[in-house]
Chains A and B, each alone.
Chain A
Amino acid sequence: MKKTTENTPPGEIPVDKPFVDLVKVSKIFKPSITALQDISISIARGELVFLTGMSGAGKTTLLKLICCLDRPTKGVIEVEGKDLSRLKPKQLQLLRQNIGVAYQNFRILPDLTVFQNISMAMEVAYRSPTVIRRRIDDLLNMLLLTDKRDTETGKLSRGEQQRVAIARAAANSPSLLLADEPTGNLDTETTWQVMNLFKQLNDAGTTIIIASHDETIYKNAPFRTLKLVQGKLV
């Protein structure tokens, strides 16, 4: 696990070759709403970084750009040394399989069970049914969801749905995991369960970017914190 001190200036390039590299990235929504302005960040392989800021600061937009769900208006984004704007559809699909994303609005299917929702991520990567079962059972155990395995996610509480989204993001043991407000709907105990999962994944080598405005999870944590204010890195 690569820990960077709190003294590390925001966006500074770590010692290793960056795993996620953003160079002067801007995103302007039509007609003229600037969501991000000249963002330059370098994140090393295996690093865990908190992306903080108020609502509307541009955290979600930044995560969407990193996982190629949107394109920047200006600037270059590289993941694993690959310029995202130059990726062919096939390469983009493979890259997405390697990036786990836990969305703020969960993006899970309410009429599918917890197991089915999580297994979707592993099925698109053509994992074997045995591997899928074992991995999902482990994740559900870690996130205290074992008893909800065969429950339709539409019948779960917001907190439980959030954990399902996190489990799906982590299912493929991705090399990069992006979590958007992952503890927004969780109580204190579950928050620390989720953070514990992130730490375990990070220990196993996963690079993690957590966007959150919940100070309790990043305050005093031995990880780099990047703060966004009105689309700018401060």
Chain B
Amino acid sequence: MRYLAYILAQTGRNLKQTWSTQCMTLLTVSLSVLIFAFFFLIYTNMLAAGEKLGDELRLIVYLEDEIVPQMQDQLERKIRGFSDVEKVVYVSRKKAFDRLSKQLDKDKDVLDDLGPDFLPPSIEVYPAKNLHTLTQIKHFADFLATLPQATKVQYGHSWVERFAYFTKLLQIIMFLSGGLLILTTTFMVSYTIRLTIFARREELQILRMLGATDAYIKVPLLLEGVMQGFLGTGFGLLSLYFLFTWIRERFTGPGFLNLFEFSFFPLQILVLITGVSIIFCAGGSLTSMRKLLRL
């Protein structure tokens, strides 16, 4: 208990002696965490949105003409033989017409002159959940296009493609900002600890002469790094939370953002980011100690 009290007192002395640099480091760590966590948040939300879209994904195979039930079974077997699918639904011309007129509701009289046969029959394929990547979807669509009677396969190709590329871009930005986070936390904290050691060089020498143990000298410096990591990450994540809340409040209503359900990090992710950040800050602290403290 007494040991802890003295260690904390030493840490307090360190912070007091280099408080301006400590503040700068804290700000830098916070900003780095904020930048990284911001992109990470968008990325995880996009992944969730992607998964949701994947659940609703369906490929529509337009057919040249109506097909008999036997042919329908045969096609379904072929499709299931190529890839796992949730379900396959045959939509006849009449069924398609009924759906459209139901969708048009009050304006369905626009269909009066067209007659019930003007829409092509189709097969709606709902792929299994394991069909994730754009390449897999494309590959499956290519196969569907080769089915007998198939004239066209539609699945919002360009939209899915753009979404996949955007997610990829976010992934790259996330890794870059993650790298930035590692560099800033490690180097800034290392630099701050270095300054602390220089500022207290005389005192540390005296402590050594008085018989201070390694723990008495090193643990406060390590704690300083840990505190930088904890507080810096805390401020960064808190800022992100306020930013997130602000955006959600301001941009609610019809619009792009309403297509997805945006959510903040779960507790586990918050703990993980904080933990990793603390490890890097402590690493920076240890690096400086190893270089400058000869006990």
**Interface residues, chain A, with chain B CB atoms under 8 Å away:** 67, 69, 89-90, 93-99, 101, 107-109, 120-121, 123-126, 128, 168
Select A120's contact among B3, B210, B213, B214, beta carbons within 8 Å. B210
With A89-B295, A109-B202 known as contacts, the answer to whether A125 contacts B211 (CB < 8 A) is yes
Cross-chain pairs A/B with CB under 8 angstroms, 21 sampled: A67-B209, A90-B213, A93-B211, A93-B213, A95-B211, A96-B209, A96-B211, A97-B210, A99-B211, A101-B209, A107-B205, A109-B202, A109-B203, A120-B207, A120-B210, A123-B9, A124-B211, A124-B216, A126-B2, A126-B3, A126-B6
Contact A124 B203 (CB under 8 A): no
Report the separation of the CA atoms of residues A95 and B210 in the bound assembly, to the nearest whole angstrom.
Answer: 9
What 10 pairs between A and B have smallest CB-CB spacing?
Answer: A96-B211, A97-B211, A124-B212, A121-B210, A93-B213, A124-B210, A93-B211, A126-B2, A123-B6, A107-B206
B208 to chain A: which residues have CB within 8 Å?
A: 96
CA of A109 to CA of B9, assembled, Å: 17
- Bound-state CA distance A147–B126 (Å) is 89
- B 76-108 contacts with A by CB, 8 A: none
Query: Please, how many angstroms separate the alpha-carbon atoms of A108 and B210 in the complex?
Result: 11
Nearest B residue (CB) for A125: B211
Q: How far is the CA of A93 from the CA of B216 in the complex (A)?
A: 11
Question: Which of A69, A89, A94, A121 has the most chain B CB atoms inside 10 A of its CB?
Answer: A121
Report the separation of the CA atoms of residues A124 and B213 in the bound assembly, to the nearest whole angstrom.
7
Q: Mark B204-242, 1 if CB is under 8 A from A, else 0.
A: 011111111110100000000000000000000000000
CB of B203, distance to nearest CB on chain A (Å) = 6
Additional A-B contact list (11), CB under 8 Å, known A90-B214, A126-B2:
A96-B208, A101-B209, A107-B205, A107-B209, A108-B206, A120-B207, A120-B210, A124-B210, A124-B212, A126-B3, A168-B210
Cα A125 to Cα B209 in complex, Å, equals 12
Chain A hits for B211, CB < 8 A? 93-99, 124-125
B210 — which chain A residues lie within 8 A by C-beta?
96-97, 120-121, 124, 168
B41 to chain A, nearest CB (A): 45
A99 to B209 Cα, complex, angstroms: 9
B216 contacts which chain A residues (CB < 8 A)? 124
Residues of B within 8 A of A90 (CB): 213-214
Interface contact A128-B213, CB-CB below 8 Å: no
Question: Would A120 and B206 be within 8 Å (CB), given that A89-B214, A89-B295 are in contact?
Answer: yes
Distance of A95 Cα from B202 Cα, bound (Å): 21
In-complex Cβ contact of B212 among A69, A93, A109 (8 A): A93
Q: Which of B2, B9, B209, B214 has the most CB of A within 10 A?
A: B209
Contact: B214 with A124, CB < 8 Å? no
Cα–Cα distance between A168 and B207 once the two chains are bound (Å): 12
Q: Hey, which chain B residues are within 8 Å of A94, CB to CB?
A: 211
Measured between C-beta atoms, what is the minimum distance from B30 to chain A in Å?
A: 30
Minimum CB–CB distance from B220 to chain A (whole Å) comes to: 12
Given contacts A109-B202, A109-B203, A128-B2, contact A93 B209 (CB under 8 A): no
- CB interface residues, B 241-295, toward A, < 8 Å: 295
Report the Cα distance A90→B211, complex, angstroms: 9
Chain B residue contacts of A107, Cβ below 8 A: 205-206, 209
Residues on A with beta carbons closer than 8 Å to the beta carbon of B209: 67, 69, 96, 101, 107
Query: In angstroms, how far is the closest chain A Cβ from the Cβ of B14?
Result: 14
- A53 → chain B closest CB, angstroms: 23
B residues near A120, Cβ cutoff 8 Å: 203, 206-207, 210
